[in-house]
A and B are shown apart, each in its own frame.
Chain A
Amino acid sequence: MNKVLMKGNEALAEAAIRAGCKCFFGYPITPQTEVAAYFAKNMAKRGGVFLQAESEIAAINMVLGASSAGVRAMTSSSSPGISLKSEGISYIAGSDLPCVIVNVQRGGPGLGGIQPSQSDYNQAVKAPGHGDFHLVVYAPASVQESVDMVFTAFDTADRYRIPTMILSDGLIGQMMEPVVFPEKTNDIPEKSWACDGHKNKRKHNIVTSLFLEPDKLEKSVLQRNEKYKLISNNCADCETYLCDDAHIVITAYGATARIARSAVNEARKQGIKAGLFRPKTLWPFPENELRNSCKNAGHILCAEMSAGQMVNDIKLYTNCSVPVSFYGRTGGVIPEPEELLREIIKLSEGRQ
Chain B
Amino acid sequence: MNHNFKKITVLTGQYGAGKTNLAVNLAFEMCRYGKVTVTDLDIVNPYFRTSDFTEIFEKKNIKLISPVYANTNLDIPVLDFDMRFETENTDFHIVDVGGDDSGAFVLGRYNDVFSTYKDATDMLYVFNVYRSPDFSVNNIIENIKEIENASRLRCTGLVNNSNLGNETDTDVIKNTLGYADKISELSGLPVLFTCKSNTDKKISENDFPVKIMVSPPWNFT
Contacts and interface: CB of A to CB of B under 8 A. Distances in A.
A332 B167 CA distance: 28
A181 B133 contact: yes
B128 A5 contact: yes
Interface of B: 15-16, 46-48, 73, 75, 128, 130-133, 135, 163-165, 167, 175, 216-221
A176 B218 CA distance: 14
Name B's interface SS. loop
Contacts of A89: none
A171 interface: yes
Contacts of A334: 217
A139 B163 CA distance: 27
B217 to A, nearest CB: 5
A176 B73 contact: no
Nearest to B217: A334
Contacts of B220: 262, 266, 337-338
Given A1-B135, A178-B164, A337 B219 contact: yes
Contacts of A291: none
Contact of A262 (B73, B163, B164, B219): B219
Nearest to B17: A5
Interface string A315-349: 00000000000000000101011100000000000
A159 to B, nearest CB: 27
A174 interface: yes
Interface residues of A, number: 33
Contacts of B135: 1, 4
12 contacts: A3-B167, A4-B135, A5-B165, A7-B16, A114-B73, A174-B47, A177-B165, A178-B165, A261-B218, A262-B220, A334-B217, A338-B221
Contacts of A255: 217
Given A4-B131, A336-B221, A338-B221, A113 B216 contact: no
A296 interface: no
B46 A178 contact: no
Contacts of B132: 4
Nearest to A175: B216
Nearest to B128: A5
Contacts of B130: 1, 3-5, 178
Given A1-B130, A34-B15, 16 more contacts: A1-B175, A3-B167, A4-B131, A4-B132, A4-B135, A5-B128, A5-B131, A6-B133, A31-B47, A114-B73, A176-B165, A178-B165, A255-B217, A259-B217, A259-B218, A332-B73
